Amino acid sequence: MAQTILAASSRVTISTFRFIPASDLSFRYEGRLDRAMADEFIRRLRQQVCMQRFLEMGPLAEARAQNFRPRSATSEKCADLFVPFALFVAQPWLIRATPFYLMKMVSLILGALLIGAASLSAVDAVGPQSKPNDYPLTADSLPQPGVPQGRLEGPLEFHRRIFAGTVRRYWIFVPAQYRAEKSAAVCVFQDGQRATHPGGHSACRRCWKT
Amino acid sequence: MPQVLENLIHKMEIPVTIGLFITPGNLSEKYPDNLGLSNPDHRAPEYDALNDNYARFLVEEILPEVGKKYRLTDDPENRVIGGTSSGAICAWTVAWERPDQFRKVISMIGSYVSIGYQRAHEGHPMMLGGDMYPTLIRRHPPKPIRIFL
């Protein structure tokens, strides 16, 4: 993912996306870049890189010290080299003087058109079939003739120590094909009271909180 | 869910699978009969917390209980955990904390947001929210987990 730095005609703005390795930064610059803007540009980039390091290292180091993996020397270097590099590439005379600039503009426009076309076709593909709150069950969710029926045990109640003071219910689904000699695969599913409901979650939309 | 398992097992698209469907906890001696399909009161502390409590509850408490009655595989590749909404981030957190136990995750409209975040306060360290997962995942070496999102 790229971080885009957009320069309006009067000032440099940086759209932020917090958790990106500095080495993944890329930018686009349009318009004139004078000395004051260049200074602002550098200031904000430095702020950005510092903020990013702070966000990535501070809370994580605190919370997960034992699993924490420090930044590699390479990515440190990328971050430090990025500011001079960005400034170098952002020189308008340099950008305009090279065929690279033209190629970049053409590829930007083509890219935008492609993305637009793709999103339009995606909307077309989904649009007519899907209505709000309309989630029809498919064959796999409905009883099928000839399929041996398993059994659902429960609700059973469960008290233990990890979540002290709580009680919960659970159900065990035992497929007809289960044999005690052979260990079975396991599927654990949360919100068991709804997951075992034959109408599925869509049957109890009103009970949703989070 | 049981119906889907039944059909997919018959079509041999999944192995013979025991399903375990668990409600969140409720802070009471007995599970209230009038809750019906709605949420018990201890759902958020169990599902939205970025810690290994729920994983330990599964691995140390309820799976051994079910294992007394049914023979369950201990191969993490054949153990899937799933959920919806906060149940989905809960499922992911279990696999994230214990990939030695669960390596497959079904995550539907997962709440990968900061519901579980808590500021540090007296005697309690800060608790991360699920919005931190993009960073956590990037910072860790890859884990052997497959997730259906």
Looking at residue A91, its pLDDT comes to 60
Mean pLDDT, chain B, as a whole number?
95
Residue in A188, A193, A210 to test binding to B, most B beta-carbons within 10 Å:
A188
Nearest to A168 among B8, B36, B40 (CB): B40
Instruction: Parse chain A into domains and list their residue ranges.
Output: 5-97, 139-207
Residue B4 belongs to some domain of the structure: no
Residue of A106 and A13 predicted with greater confidence: A106
Distances (CA, A) of B50 to A67, B42, B90, B93, B141: 14, 15, 8, 7, 18
Looking at residue B113, its pLDDT comes to 92
The continuous run of DSSP H or E covering A157 comes out as: strand A151-158
Query: If contacts are CB pairs under 8 Å, which of residues 12-71 in chain A contact chain B?
Result: 19, 21, 55-56, 59-60, 62-64, 67-69
- Contact call for A185 and B16, based on CB within 8 A: yes
Percent pLDDT > 70 in chain A is 36
Looking at residue A34, its pLDDT comes to 67
Residues of chain B with pLDDT under 70: none
Q: With bands split at pLDDT 50, 70 and 90, how would you rate the model's confidence at A50?
A: low
Give phi and psi for A169, each to the nearest 5.
-110, 150
- Contact call for B70 and A178, based on CB within 8 A: yes
Q: A-chain residues within 8 Å CB-CB of B141?
A: 69
Residue pLDDT, tens place only, A139-163: 999 999 999 999 999 899 999 889 9
- Contact call for A175 and B6, based on CB within 8 A: yes
Nearest to A190 among B73, B83, B141 (CB): B83
What count of other Cβ atoms lies within 10 Å of the Cβ of residue A199? 11
Number of domains in chain B: 1
Report the chain B residue with the minimal C-alpha distance to residue A182. Answer: B71
What is d(CA B128, CA B134) in angstroms, rounded to the nearest whole number? 12
Report the chain A residue with the minimal C-alpha distance to residue B90. Answer: A190
- Contact call for B80 and A192, based on CB within 8 A: no
Looking at residue A136, its pLDDT comes to 79
Looking at residue B9, its pLDDT comes to 97
Q: A-chain residues within 8 Å CB-CB of B142?
A: none
Looking at residue A65, its pLDDT comes to 39
pLDDT higher than 90, residue A8 = no
Looking at residue A84, its pLDDT comes to 60
pLDDT higher than 60, residue A197 = yes
Distant-in-sequence, close-in-space partners of A118: CB < 8 Å, separation ≥ 6: none
Looking at residue A107, its pLDDT comes to 72
Residue pLDDT, tens place only, A53-86: 555 554 444 444 334 344 455 554 555 565 566 6
Size of interface A-B (CB pairs under 8 A): 257
CATH classification at residue B58: 3.40.50.1820
Closest C-alpha to A180, from B15, B63, B70 = B70
**Strand order in B104-108's β-sheet?**
A151-158, A168-174, B17-22, A185-189, B79-84, B104-108, B146-148
What predicted TM-score, i.e. pTM, was given to this entire model? 0.63
Looking at residue B141, its pLDDT comes to 94
Residue pLDDT, tens place only, A107-151: 777 777 766 665 555 444 444 556 776 777 889 999 999 999 999
Distances (CA, A) of A136 to A31, A140, A208, B87: 52, 11, 18, 22
Q: State the pairing for strand pair B104-108/B79-84.
A: parallel
Residue in A23, A152, A167, A186 to test binding to B, most B beta-carbons within 10 Å:
A186
- Contact call for A194 and B37, based on CB within 8 A: yes
Report the chain A residue with the minimal C-alpha distance to residue B68. Answer: A180
- Contact call for B79 and A188, based on CB within 8 A: yes
Q: With bands split at pLDDT 50, 70 and 90, how would you rate the model's confidence at A99?
A: low
Q: By residue range, what is the domain housing residue B85?
A: 41-111+127-149
Looking at residue B124, its pLDDT comes to 87
Looking at residue A198, its pLDDT comes to 82
Looking at residue A169, its pLDDT comes to 96
Looking at residue A161, its pLDDT comes to 83
Distances (CA, A) of A182 to A50, A179, B13, B16: 56, 6, 18, 10
State the Cα torsion A129-B113-A1-A119 to the nearest 10°: 10
Give phi and psi for B65, each to the nearest 5.
-65, -50
Q: With bands split at pLDDT 50, 70 and 90, how would you rate the model's confidence at A183?
A: very high
Residue B81 belongs to some domain of the structure: yes
